Structure 1
Amino acid sequence: MGLPVIIQIENIYYPILAIVGVPANLVTIVILSRGSYGLSKCITRYLVAMAVADLFVLIYEVILYEIKDAYFPYSFLNYTPICRLNLALNLVAMDSSVWLTVAFTFDRFVAICYQKLRTKYCTERTAAVVIAVVCFLSVLENVPIYFMFEPREIIDNVPWSCYVKSSFYAIPIWAVFLWLETILTPFFPFVSILLLNALTIRHILLANRVRRGLRGSNNDPEMENRRKSIILLLAISGSFILLWMVNFLFFVCVQFTDVRFFETTYDAPFTIMELSGYMLRCLSSCTNTFIYAVSQSKFREELKKVIKRPLTLITNLIK
């Protein structure tokens, strides 16, 4: 009997995602870190931190979990203690990525809507502090994750793989933890990003209307800068919302129905929904590079330079 269709899709999807996503994030980190992209140091810090978090998501979830399970099921990485650690680190990276997106959205909200506060809050130092706090809290939040798994099977007295403990759904403290996890990621980020974007767009539309009335022209450099800022902001946060939607809905189902995580009946609708949600949220970890390339001309120029450099070196070596 062949593998379930959803597993066959995963076995093709995740390697392609790793092949595309890891280099994309590495290139993004290189370009942004060089500081030649034309963005402020504050924005650059957030974007670099988001790219690093996304890179770790691809490493821990896509490579060390999904691809490892598909192609190396009995490697040492599948030993239960290592599997638990990998899952915990994966969620640390995932939460960091999500909350850095929220932090970036809030930073742009302040920069656009509150000019007086902008000079104090939208600084490189503040960005560094916010990033450090987000990463620390993500680690702290996911410490219990290590203890919520048990071995999926015992082979020659060796525990292999990870499976959510049955007590996770029965003991009140775990139920509270699951509620907090759902609220913190992804419910609150969803609401925060939608609200902040709505307020930011409203402010920009009102400001543009006023400036257009005063200047009597659409050729306003300030309006053009705001337009570019809002395109970047909406592209990043909109991509996050769309790609996390299925995973968000599955978390809601777990809270209000008898659905559980990591069920093994792969033809069950909720299992397909869960696995599809994981695939889409992993995709969100490599989309920002393409968003920058499409929406930002300076990024495209830097990307071309980065791509051409190794090609030029290879050509010179051949000659």
Structure 2
Amino acid sequence: MLQDSFERRFSYLRLSLTESCNFRCNYCLPDGSACDNKAAELTLAEIKQLVQGFAHAGTTKVRLTGGEPTLRRDLCSIIETVRATDGITQVALTTNGYRLNKDIHQWLDAGLTALNVSVDSLDADTFHLVTGQDRLPDILAGIDRALALGLQKVKINTVLLRQYNGRSLSSFLEFVRDKPISLRFIELMQTGDNGAFFKTQHVSGQSIISQLTAAGWQLMPRLANAGPALEYAHPDYLGTIGLIMPYSDHFCDDCNRLRVSSTGQLFLCLFAEQHQNLRHLLNQDNPAAIVEFLQAQLQFKPFSHQLAKAQTGQTRQLAMIGG
């Protein structure tokens, strides 16, 4: 298995399929998507070689992200290709939910095993203010449909925003009372383009944890191949609440994931200053060469990001790599 110089082991790939997005979230793309590299996105054949290489190195979980990955017309073929790769046991998708209600059955037929949906407010007007889209009812209907179709791993991602949802914990808790889903609050992260917005809207996840523990919620053990969320459960609720707090101490201690952009750039860290191009390895049927490249590059992976020092690397906005 891939291992860095700090003896952290990596079995989780987050693969961006596109930088394009059809939402205008105020914390990410308030002016809309201006993707200029759509023609350079990895092809299905290149994705197959990439995932085979990662699987050869011990990767078992792949998350498809964006931008908005459902804008790829070949998404079902991508899901099917990844799921058919020897060694890959989990194929997850992170989406804004725009096509969820319409296409979830196709994704499941292709082999999808887990779903994350971005829902930054359960109030339709606030959702519209944050995302620029008036589609909350349809997205929530899509989540219900995914559950009805038997998908067991359904999560909701909510970016904590002081002005828009910072005081809405009670409504989120009520939402998961009778739904077997994980709702995760994600601390707003500073990127190259959102400095002023970050200063006015950032909320620490610790305030949510304090409220949860006071109400009897208990921290759950972290599962293998899981992301960085701290997950809390309560006997009176079918769903759980998670916290992703990149500004907390020791956040990077057990990092287990690597990222590849839609154009074949390896991100050793979400906020790295430099990225490594591995696309030249994707035009040959040689997974061992990909493994060798990854293991060599991992020796340069830093122990931690420098977000607390406002060092955001080359990440202009999260749509370029999917968070």
Pairwise TM-score range, normalised by the shorter structure = under 0.3
Return the TM-score normalized by structure 1.
0.27
Return the TM-score normalized by structure 2.
0.26
Structure ranking higher in strand proportion: 2
